[in-house]
Amino acid sequence: NLFNLIALPLLIGMGQDDALHIIHRYREEGPGSLRFVLRETGGAVFLTTLTTVIGFSSMLFVQHQGLRSLGWTACIGMTLCLVSSVLVVPSALRVAEWLAARRRHQIQLGVLHIGYQLAVGRLPFESSSDADILRMQVQACEQVALALRGERPGELVNPAVWGRHRR
């Protein structure tokens, strides 16, 4: 129906607003706050969607078939947008949290391995001074400590020093 074309941009705009409100609040609160975000912002999204559905549902009782079709399209569409905003978006945010934590863990393991190899002196060196080796071992231990605290490690070793000692 031609009247349903009117509902399409409205549904896209309102549905995206609901999702953006949840994403924005999640970014404000930070990782691990998904339950709080859904309780606070999800409630507001639910109420705004409910009032919109109630408004469009008044068109369900008119005699004009086009307006009735518009009412059904808008009510069903807004309900699906609510479900998407409250179920799909938080699920995607949770998966993103999980992937980020997994990536941090893999970086920490890599830093620990390289730091251990440097600290025990198992990486091959050509002629090098003891001071340079000691400096790299101290730097590797500092990187391991950063990784264990959950901070993002920078360069694993100084590239200028490392380049002189690689084979």
For 102-117, write each residue's pLDDT tens digit.
777 666 666 666 666 6
Q: What is the mean pLDDT of each run of 10 residues along the chain (167 residues)?
A: 82 90 91 90 93 92 90 93 92 88 70 61 56 68 68 50 42
CA distance 132 to 136: 6
| DSSP code for 85 | I
CA neighbor of 23 nearest in space, from 100, 77, 94: 94
Cβ pair 18, 82 in contact under 8 A? yes
CA distance 129 to 53: 75
pTM of the model: 0.62
